[in-house]
Structure 1
Amino acid sequence: MDASAAYGAKTPGDRPLAPIRIAVLVDRKDQLENWQLALIDRILADDRFCLKTLILCPARTEASSSAFRLAASLERMTLGRQPVYRTVSPGFGDLHVEPLEKVIVSGLTAELDLVLQLSPLDLDPKIFTGLRFGAWRFSFLDAADRNADWFGYGEVISGQPATELAITVCRGEHGTEGTLASAEFNTKFSAVRNGDFIKERAVSLAMRELRKVARTRSITPEPSVTGRPAAGPPAPRALAIYMAELAKTLLARGQQALALKLKIAAPAWALFVGEGEPEDFDPMTAKLLKPDHGEFRADPFLFEENGETFVFYEAYNASDTKAHIAVSRLKGDRLERIGIALQAPYHLSYPFVFRDGDSIFMIPETNTARRLEVWRSVEFPLRWELHATALEGQSPADSAMIRVSGKWWLFTNLSEFHAYEDHCSELHLFEVDGPDLNWLKPHHNNPVVIGSIDARNGGRPFERGGRLYRPSQRNEHGIYGYGLNIMEVEELNLDTYCERCIRRIDPDFAAGIIACHHLDALNGRYIIDAMFKDQSHLLR
């Protein structure tokens, strides 16, 4: 079950609403893909929905060549294998299956609110446009036929920084098509993985939109871009060039993996400091905080106590198997190392340090412990005790808690996954009582942000001039943490979350860096991290 559904479909005092009646359109009833099984499973597990039937429809005729199908199958065998999906809902085995012709003749469509297309079909969408919420379809189905799937190839071959996913809806007397929701995701090095990853994320996007319909009983699609033909399979020459580049990439990645295993290399993150505010500072003025003893540093947070400025950050060496939280004093443009603030049997990073009254708290990233942890300082800055936990059994990353207009809000990146664990694609929002975490109220539209170009937290949320801002990562170009965004939060309550990007920061402010993914600021100074392409550029 996905993270938002785990909190239940109704709250005390809600009037029970009739379930949304759904049918799923597929080209087969057996050998469904994992993402298809997961989406059906979650619909069945949620009492806001009634899955009436699977409707068997004719598959789209072949558009792909035998050469492409062979190349794609070889890539899938080597890079696209996934664990078997085990269904959770007990109703899965009792699903009703009907052919399209029988559904049309029997008038079953009168018992439906919407249909959800999960396969590439040779189908007139206007058959279902009379339904209250229309016919929903994923954009990647345009890049597939009955025997092949080329979704994701075009973006990898052309070097697109991100790959788009959209859910469109067709409804009304004239079968008007609109875009219900869309998101962009970091393009992978492998086209098969690129497509499979986005299909897994499509489950979260679809479930969020279905929950909106169940709660509001309405949809508000945006006009779709028309006149743009669907991309076909890659041409033979483009495919050959892609396969050669893929082989070179796999060799390079294998060398990197070997270096990590031998503990002779690690992602070379370092910290830079400068003067300015997060909205308008010039990163070209940033100065490198030269690491000590081969220590790599990331996710810095600034904190003031007794007139001194402290920096808490993720710290590790190439020889380490996991990171810990270190703390230093910031003295001008250099760090004075104090020591290890927090260490655990599991990986720690993103030490979000904040004050509530007379107490100082830290929320480190602890996703490998499968829970969110709040630690309280008992002897600042080196002694901390576990104060509270939440989201047990889930995988939260890069969490931040902030009080806005008297209410506490928890921003966290949860990963609901089967084959591709990922914390860059979903931002979840909760109203909470504060650091004690006695209760959490999930936002009605969780995940409130979907997409790797802006979902993942990239530093401390902050207020300026009565406005709330959220630094976020921009994961694209196939690079984790490629760049930063400053997002202005325009609306924040349990029903609505709206933000817009007011600034982007690219990794171009120092020689040799290829990524920058975290920012914090305090008293007119900022601190930012960046990753060097080659650790020798940093450590020499």
Structure 2
Amino acid sequence: MRFNGKVYVQPVLEWTGKSNRPPLRIGILVGSESFENWELQLFDRLFADPRFDLKAVLIHPGGYGQRSTTPLLGLVAKVDRLLFARQPAYRPSYFDDIRQRTEFIRLDEADRAYTNGSPALERLRLDLVLRTIPRGLPDAFVATLPFGEWALTFADLRSRTADWCGFAEVVAGSPTMQIGLNVNHGGGKPFGQIASAAFNPKFSAARNSAFLKEKAVILLMRELRRLADTGSLTLGHGTASTDPAGPPDTAEVARYVVGLARAATSRATRELRRKAGIETAVWTLFSGAGSVERFDPHLAVELPPAKDSIKADPFLFRHGGDCYVFYENYAVGDHKAHIAVGRLKGDGIEPLGPAIESTSHLSFPFVFRNGKGIFMMPETHQEKRIEIWRCTDFPLKWELYATALDGYSAADSTLFRRKGKWWLLSNLSDHHAYEDHCSELHAFEVDGPRLSRIVPHARNPVVIGSTVARNAGRVFASHGRLFRPSQNNAYGIYGYGLNIMEIQELSREVYRETCIRTIIPDFKPGLAGCHHFDAAGGRYILDARLSS
């Protein structure tokens, strides 16, 4: 595409590194020939990538075993799904009829050839099988698979008539929903865990289940790509559970129905109030002396909002001896925000006016200096692209400088330089039914603010999970260490807490970080969340959400 007379190359988000390895030969073990959206998404992505060869869909008529559920659970699960987890049918891009792309093999447990060794399975020479139902393949056959039988944890939380994935978390009010990708190597060996992630729970079990399954495709494809590229299966640090939760009984289902009705009513009331402009999320700012490594929010001073100026996502910027703060700004009843700027004066902000306005929502005004230029990369996900703006008259005049990732829904992006290389970290929403910017962190090597060359990381998304993935401010370099603030989205609350992550290793093939600190909204009374941090010149600033 062309912009201001310059040519910008449409970036490719898939890793383009070449592999000399033969494609992985994969089988999918299912219980019927009727497929859910997440399974169709998975088939589509496997067919799209030459590193994989989906050899067969294996249909196991006895794949649900003798597991039964109460009629009430079946009814509630169906109604829950219709009311809160309805989604459009997934339309594949790489196949019309899956039977034209892969072989279907029906397994029969009564057939001696299956229990003692099936020629149909053996001739496939599969590298691995993905199990989507509670019962897997015979242990002896699994032991012949070079990379074993894989299963996502929700595969065990279902019967032929009902699915209770996410049910226990809703009933218990759990802070997160966990999903794991486990492997069975057969031969009596213990199960291993390949990877896991935690997600912010929804108010409905059916919605939890549908959301988790969509995100599971992303986790699964990342680990399949890792295996295809390296030829080695590396296990994670977690342990695989071999004792999945059984179906809830009638009393548990009844308690769930009561809680669901209460939650749905509260949710509907809040939504009506929001649309009427009566209810608005109100954020406040806190500031104090300190750095990303050492700051105590208990000692911070509040910079309170005004009814016509609610401030969030603050970024500090020192210029001409003064400290400025750029922030997302909106008023009670507004449905979108713009970027505004003020000057810090003691324990207050002197408003200077709007910096960037748009017909769509703007937030996360990441402002930075490169040479003599001052740039800003605000969140513009409603425009389905990343935008870089250049300052022409500080601090109120800006012009569009560059765009990137056209067509992609990207949020809270940040740029930084490390050992002579520029890196872009962005929260993309790779989704079908559930747009969500809190669960995937993607990394790219770039050429700087022009963003004319973008090389995706080999392990994108490099971080998966709503408790750690979403950026919560700029990346800091301090005393040879690299720190990334991230959001901790939990308890069904967007922006519940704040993490300080330390990036320990970063290259085109490796990304490794660890959480060194988590801040929860207990440092001042009346707070429901905190989700952004920035610091400059020995001073820090963060935002916090006020309880309604």
Query: Which residues in structure 2 correspond to 1:143-222 (within 5 Å)?
Result: 143-171=157-185, 173-222=187-236
Moved more, 374-383 or 55-64: 55-64
- Residue 22 of structure 2 corresponds to residue 18 of structure 1: yes
Which residue is equivalent to 1:96? 103
Give the aligned residue type for 2:499: N
Range with bigger deviation, 115-124 or 416-425: 115-124
Q: Assess if the C-alpha contact under 8 Å between 1:126 and 1:171 holds in 2.
A: no
How many residues matched? 527
How much does 1:6 deviate? 4.9
Identical counterparts, % of pairs:
47
Q: Helix, strand or coil for the counterpart of 2:135?
A: coil
Q: Within 5 Å, give how 1:370-409 maps onto structure 2.
A: 370-409=384-423
1:298 is matched by which residue type in structure 2?
Answer: A
Report the equivalent of 1:311.
325
For residue 518 of structure 1, what is the aligned residue in structure 2? 532
Query: Which residue of the partner structure matches residue 248 of structure 1?
Result: 262
Give the gaps of 5 or more residues in structure 2: 1-10
Q: How far apart are residue 390 of structure 1 and its match?
A: 0.8
Whether contact under 8 Å (1:109, 1:128) holds in the other structure is: no
- Correspondent of 1:40 among 43, 54, 64: 43
Structure 1 residues 140-170: Cα deviation after superposition (integer angstroms, max 9, x where no partner): 1111111111010111111110111000111
Contact 2:182 2:240 in 1 (8 A): no
Counterparts of 1:42 and 1:82, CA distance in 2: 19
Q: How does 1:282-361 map to 2 (within 5 A)?
A: 282-361=296-375
Query: Partner amino acid for 1:97?
Result: F
Distance 2:446 2:237 in 1: 36
Residue 340 of structure 1 deviates from its aligned partner by 0.5
Q: Output the aligned Cα RMSD.
A: 1.8
AA matched with 2:77: A
Q: How does 1:429-508 map to 2 (within 5 A)?
A: 429-508=443-522
Question: Which residue is equivalent to 2:6?
Answer: none
Are residues 164 and 240 of structure 1, via their aligned partners in 2, closer, same or farther at CA, if it must alter by over 3 Å?
A: same
Aligned to 1:27, which of 7, 25, 31? 31
CA distance in 1 between counterparts of 2:13 and 2:278 reads 44
1:36 and 1:312 map into 2 onto residues whose CA distance is 43
Kindly state the Cα deviation for residue 487 of structure 1 after the two structures are TM-superposed: 0.4
- Say whether the 8 Å CA contact 1:302–1:312 is kept in structure 2: yes
Shift in Å at residue 8 of structure 1? 4.7
Please tell me whether the aligned partners of residues 315 and 365 of structure 2 are also in contact (alpha carbons under 8 angstroms): yes
Counterpart of 2:28 in structure 1: which amino acid? V
The whole-number CA distance in structure 2 between the counterparts of 1:521 and 1:49 is 45
The answer to whether the Cα contact below 8 Å between 1:517 and 1:530 also exists between their aligned partners in 2 is yes
Partner of 1:66: 71
The question of whether the paired residues in 2 share the 8 Å contact of 1:468 and 1:489 is answered with yes
Gapped runs of 5+ residues in structure 1? 535-540
Work out the CA distance in 2 between the residues paired with 1:92 and 1:455: 36
**1:139: which partner in 2?**
153
Query: Does 1:236 pair with 2:250?
Result: yes
Structure-2-length-normalised TM-score: 0.93
Contact 1:351/1:362 (8 A) holds in 2? yes
TM-aligned CA deviation for residue 29 of structure 1: 1.5
Residues 185 and 476 of structure 1 are in contact (CA less than 8 Å); yes or no, is this contact kept in structure 2?
yes
**Cα 1:170–1:126 shift into 2, 3 Å:** farther
Shift of 1:490: 0.7
CA contact (8 A) 1:45 1:89 kept: yes
C-alpha distance in structure 2 between counterparts of 1:236 and 1:254, whole Å: 27
Q: Distance in 2 between matches of 1:6 and 1:437?
A: 13
Is the 8 Å Cα contact of residues 125 and 175 (structure 1) preserved in structure 2?
A: no
3-state SS of the aligned residue for 2:86? coil
Match of 1:49 in 2: 52
Alpha carbons 2:473, 2:533 under 8 Å: kept: yes
- How far is the alpha carbon of 1:17 from its aligned partner? 2.9
TM-score by length of 1: 0.94
Displacement, 1:90? 2.8
**Equivalent residue number for residue 537 of structure 1:** none
CA shift for structure 1 position 100: 2.6
Q: 1:7 to 1:254 in 2, by over 3 A?
A: closer
Moved more, 392-401 or 232-241: 232-241
Greater mean alpha carbon deviation, residues 21-30 or residues 346-355: 21-30
Asked if structure 2 preserves the Cα contact closer than 8 Å seen for 1:44 and 1:92, the reply is no
Separation in structure 2 between the aligned mates of residue 225 and residue 384 of structure 1, nearest angstrom: 51
Q: Distance in 1 between matches of 2:240 and 2:391?
A: 57
Opposite residue 168 of structure 1, the aligned amino acid is: N
Q: Distance in 1 between matches of 2:264 and 2:538?
A: 44
Compared with structure 1, are the counterparts of its residues 253 and 44 closer, same or farther at alpha carbon in structure 2 (3 Å cutoff)? same
State the distance in 2 between where 1:289 and 1:223 align: 42
- Offset at 1:228? 5.6
3-state SS of 1:259 partner: helix
Shift of 1:252: 1.3
Pairwise CA distance, 1:175: 4.2
1:164–1:182: 8 Å Cα contact kept in structure 2? yes
